[in-house]
Amino acid sequence: MFEMKLKRRVALLGAAAVMAVASFAGPAAAITPAEIKAKGKLVVGIQGDNPPWGFVTSGGKQDGFDAEMGALFAKELGVEVEFVPLEVNNRIPALTSGRVDVLFATMAMLPDRAKAIQFSKPYNANAIVLIGPKDKSIKTNEDMANLTISVAKGAAQDTQVTKNAPASATIRRYDGDAPSIQALVSGQTEALGGNIFYMDRVEKAVPGKFENKLEFQKLYNGAGTRLGEKEINVALNTFIDKIRANGELKKIYDKWMKVPVPEFPTTLEGIPFTAN
């Protein structure tokens, strides 16, 4: 009898310990607009070194397309904004662990990602491309044979280059956009998997040498929140609708993208814009 009581007590203590750990393991950040307003600050996960999306100026200020989006959403909520610069592979973990409230972080809307986070409506359009030397003919996937190609590890360009390149191609994966671009311009690699806005950075580093060669995939970017957080998802979608209607999104596009605001899809297969 004593042994049974002892085992039961140990089991209860163990369960209590698990519950205590679980209570501290949940998201630390605010999860509703009301809670964000109460703490007076929106914590935005952003790419810290990927212009024109997000980068740090010489004065130490976070700037770029996504920075303006994050700051404008914070203003909509009536709070200050705090930016947390993230590498590609750290974006979703930073959100799901509660380190940030929302992601404005060049988040391509992909079905696999939609299983881990909640996307808003799209607010930007992009395309995944291969950048290569102007003097080299690269017109088909087969033309990537035997090339050494740099990509940002875990990004959409990593997925697309891996999917489309012949087995004889060598894919070198780097921790972020900047080192993958540097690998190309320094001659460590012959080609680069990136997006349509990479060329501006490449051209500034080595003028006249490279160009966009192949387009693998058209993408849309959305803001990311945690699954099941309905209120902030509604707030984001309302905000995106508002800035599309009042011209604020066009101003940001004119400043950073220098192309017209595209037509955005009302649905994307496997990617809900509304939290359940």
Together in a domain, 246 and 144:
no
Together in a domain, 194 and 235:
no
pLDDT digits 0-9 by tens, 2-19: 344 434 443 443 433 333
The SS3 of residue 56 is strand
265 assigned to some structural domain: no
Q: Partners of 152 in the beta sheet? A: 174
Instruction: Name residue, tokens 């998802």.
Output: 233
pLDDT of residue 26 exceeding 80, the answer is no
Together in a domain, 118 and 237:
yes
Q: How confident is the model over 20-45, as a mean pLDDT?
A: 72
Together in a domain, 178 and 227:
no
Residues belonging to the chain = 276
Q: Which residue has the higher pLDDT, 218 or 21?
A: 218
How far apart are alpha carbons 185 and 202 in whole angstroms? 7
Together in a domain, 83 and 101:
yes
Give the amino acid at 97: S
pLDDT of residue 231: 97
Q: How confident is the model over 184-205, as a mean pLDDT?
A: 95
Last residue of a domain, one of 218, 239, 265: 218
- pTM listed for this prediction: 0.79
Mean pLDDT for the chain overall: 90
Query: What does the radius of gyration of the chain's CA atoms come to, in whole angstroms?
Result: 22
Report how far apart, in Å, the C-alpha atoms of 271 and of each of 7, 109, 141, 165, 221 are: 48, 7, 28, 26, 12
Together in a domain, 184 and 200:
yes
pLDDT of residue 18: 34
* Contact by Cβ (8 Å): 172, 232: no
What's the domain range around 77? 33-126+220-257
pLDDT of residue 29: 46
| β-pairing verdict for 118-133 and 191-195 | antiparallel
pLDDT of residue 178 exceeding 50, the answer is yes
Together in a domain, 68 and 121:
yes
37 assigned to some structural domain: yes
The candidate with the shortest Cα–Cα distance to 106, out of 215, 256, 235, is 256
Together in a domain, 252 and 139:
no
Together in a domain, 112 and 136:
no
276 assigned to some structural domain: no
Confidence of residue 258 (pLDDT cuts 50, 70, 90): confident
pLDDT digits 0-9 by tens, 129-151: 999 999 999 999 999 999 999 99
Q: Which DSSP string corresponds to 110-160?
A: -HHHHTTSEEEEEEEEEEEEEEEETTS---SGGGGTT-EEEEETTSHHHHH
Helix (H), strand (E), coil (C) string for 39-89: HCEEEEEEECEECCCEEECCCCCEECHHHHHHHHHHHHHCCEEEEEEECHH
* 88 phi-psi bin (left φ>0, alpha ψ -120 to 50, beta other): alpha
Two tokens, residue 266:
């009302």
Q: Within a 10 A sphere around the Cβ of 165, how many other Cβ atoms?
A: 24
User: Degrees (nearest 5) of the Cα angle 151, 155, 156?
Assistant: 100
As a whole number of Å, the end-to-end CA separation of the chain is 49
Together in a domain, 196 and 240:
no
CATH of the domain at 177: 3.40.190.10
